[in-house]
A and B are shown apart, each in its own frame.
Chain A
Amino acid sequence: MSDPEILQAIRDGRDHAAFTALYVHLPKVIRLVKANSGGRDEAKDIFQDALVIFHRKARTEGFTLTSSISTFLFAICRNLWREELRRRDRSLTDWKLEGLPDEPADLTALLAREGEYRTAEQALRSLGEKCLEVLKRFYILHEPLTQIARALGFAGEGAAKTRKYKCLEEARRRYRQLVDTNTIQHA
């Protein structure tokens, strides 16, 4: 699939086709990570994160590609890996991956925001499948609460609603906890 076709697939909600096509860029990222003291699985993880970021970006209003998707994904991966290495060893602050130029400011800002969202995702995942399922169905699929209650076996609409709020509340608590730990580490 060409870049415009992939973008169109994402806009049409054909995520599977788009993601499958995008995985052709994975080997390049594996090589990058392996060349910089990482392994295949780590490369896969950051690549998948880049796919998520790209997908979300592509769905935003008025998004246009300024470079090829490949370049975009690779730039994100390079950045994510650099961050990961910094997390491991804080002496690497000024370290530059393979002497490549730093990313443009807008990409840095995008990644900073996505970093927060990733932490939120982490907090949400830690709540367990059921919570995530309720929240996904409500906020992403926009299913009515009665339907959610039926599908997930809650007593009724009220129970589903309470569950949703409890989950959100607990997610926030855990998210705050994660943010605080990260802040301490970086301080």
Chain B
Amino acid sequence: MRKELELLELVDRYLNGGLNDAERAAFEQRLTDNADLRAMLEDQRVLREGIARAALRPAVTKAYRAHRFGKWKPWLGGAFMVVIAVVGIDLWKRTSFEAPQETEQKEITDTVPIANEPADGQPRTTRYEVDTIVDTVYKVFRNGRWETTPNPMRESEAQADTAAAVILQDEHGTVRSTTPSKTESTMAVAPTETRPEFPGGMAAFYAFLEANIRHPDLEKPVNGAVEVGFTINPDGRVVDAAIVKGLNEAYNAEALRVIRSMPRWKPGTANGKSVPCRLQMPMEFRNPGAGSDSPEVK
């Protein structure tokens, strides 16, 4: 072992150029007739390159964070970027969701005009009946990550949830009483119905949007939200993507492009059967350097 370390030290000094002429000549002589020593020299050389690579990693990782962060903190990157500040999903069910047999005749009590999509040059309006808002997810980008916040629209129901406290036991053995997270409780859809799901879940969905949204190439960037509606068909396909509330042509087009480029979802179901589901989602564009056209997201 001791001998090994001595040899290693010699190789190390050779690589550092720390041997004098006589020592170096002797070492090189040893190299010619000692294959083990040659292998050791080569490995030490490679290891040094490995050290050099490893030394670069922190800078690479740090820059990655800056790159991600730069999307929200433009003064770091200086680049013009698009931010989805808020992605909320409002899920509408069609009437057929619960009472398929009555759909045709049922009196429409509350409607949301969803699509004004120019298809084949013909403006087309599809009307979806709002039955129940099954779930609403509000995500706000705060402190460098997405946080789920309760939807103000569901505040009353959320308060009702506080009555149902859960008992949790943490690792220290103390028992605490806590209320179920508002998100979790609103997720608790009636067991026979499930919401459509993006492959990989919501996190994957946000990642998809983030990776695919490009800023519309405008001379004058603006801040604001585009509200898009789209339907997840029983086969999981995204259809009828339409602007509910537009911002301007370029932003509307970009929002639609991204929505239409989504992979297939896992369709929503009712009573074990896949059913079409309508989702509505505000996509907020925030552009550094643009005037504040939209109120700050809380």
Give the chain B neighbours of A125 by CB distance below 8 A: 54
Give the chain A neighbours of B46 by CB distance below 8 A: 116-117, 120, 175
Evaluate whether A52 and B56 lie within 8 angstroms (CB atoms) in the complex, with A165-B9, A169-B4, A169-B5 already known: yes
* Stretch in A22-30, A78-86, A92-100, A150-158 touching the partner: A22-30
Q: Does B47 contact A (CB under 8 A)?
A: yes
Evaluate whether A121 and B50 lie within 8 angstroms (CB atoms) in the complex, with A20-B67, A23-B64, A168-B44 already known: yes
**CB of B258, distance to nearest CB on chain A (Å):** 13
Evaluate whether A172 and B47 lie within 8 angstroms (CB atoms) in the complex, with A23-B64, A48-B64 already known: yes
Interface of A is mostly: helix
Q: Mark B51-67, 1 if CB is under 8 A from A, else 0.
A: 11111110111111011
Give the chain A neighbours of B155 by CB distance below 8 A: none
- How far apart are the CA atoms of A26 and B56 in the complex, in Å? 18
Q: Does A135 contact B (CB under 8 A)?
A: yes
Evaluate whether A56 and B53 lie within 8 angstroms (CB atoms) in the complex, with A23-B64, A117-B46 already known: yes
Complex partner residue of A124 from B47, B62, B76, CB under 8 angstroms = B47
Evaluate contact between B47 and A171: CB separation under 8 angstroms.
yes
Evaluate contact between B43 and A19: CB separation under 8 angstroms.
no
Q: Mark B17-29, 1 if CB is under 8 A from A, else 0.
A: 0000000000000
**Closest A residue, CB atoms, query B214:** A27
Evaluate contact between A176 and B67: CB separation under 8 angstroms.
no
Give the chain A neighbours of B289 by CB distance below 8 A: none
Q: Does A149 contact B (CB under 8 A)?
A: no
Q: Does A111 contact B (CB under 8 A)?
A: no
Evaluate whether A121 and B54 lie within 8 angstroms (CB atoms) in the complex, with A19-B59, A165-B5 already known: yes
- The interface size of chain A toward B, counting residues with CB under 8 Å, comes to 42
Give the chain A neighbours of B188 by CB distance below 8 A: none
Complex partner residue of A140 from B52, B64, B76, CB under 8 angstroms = B52
Give the chain A neighbours of B134 by CB distance below 8 A: none
Q: Does B12 contact A (CB under 8 A)?
A: yes
Interface of B is mostly: helix
Give the chain A neighbours of B44 by CB distance below 8 A: 168, 172
Evaluate whether A30 and B211 lie within 8 angstroms (CB atoms) in the complex, with A118-B53, A140-B55 already known: yes
Q: Does B77 contact A (CB under 8 A)?
A: yes
Scan residues 51-89 of chain B and give those whose CB is less than 8 A from a CB of chain A: 51-57, 59-64, 66-67, 70, 76-77, 79
Give the chain B neighbours of A166 by CB distance below 8 A: 5
Give the chain B neighbours of A172 by CB distance below 8 A: 40, 43-44, 47
Evaluate whether A16 and B63 lie within 8 angstroms (CB atoms) in the complex, with A40-B211, A116-B46, A117-B46 already known: yes
Give the chain A neighbours of B54 by CB distance below 8 A: 121, 124-125, 132, 136
Q: Does A139 contact B (CB under 8 A)?
A: yes
Give the chain A neighbours of B40 by CB distance below 8 A: 172
Evaluate contact between B62 and A175: CB separation under 8 angstroms.
no
Evaluate contact between A135 and B51: CB separation under 8 angstroms.
yes
Give the chain B neighbours of A26 by CB distance below 8 A: 67
If A24-B67, A132-B51 are given as contacts, then 13 extra A-B residue pairs at C-beta distance below 8 Å, sorted by A number, are A19-B59, A20-B76, A40-B211, A51-B56, A56-B49, A56-B56, A117-B52, A120-B50, A121-B50, A136-B55, A162-B5, A166-B5, A175-B47
Residues of B within 8 A of A (CB): 4-5, 8-9, 12, 40, 43-44, 46-57, 59-64, 66-67, 70, 76-77, 79, 207, 211
Of all A-B residue pairs in the complex, the 10 with the closest CB atoms, nearest first, are A120-B50, A19-B63, A23-B67, A117-B49, A121-B50, A15-B59, A121-B53, A140-B55, A20-B63, A120-B46
A-B contact pairs, 23 of them (CB 8 A): A15-B59, A16-B59, A16-B62, A19-B59, A20-B70, A20-B76, A20-B77, A27-B211, A44-B64, A48-B57, A52-B53, A116-B46, A117-B46, A119-B50, A121-B50, A123-B50, A124-B51, A124-B54, A135-B51, A139-B48, A168-B44, A175-B47, A176-B43
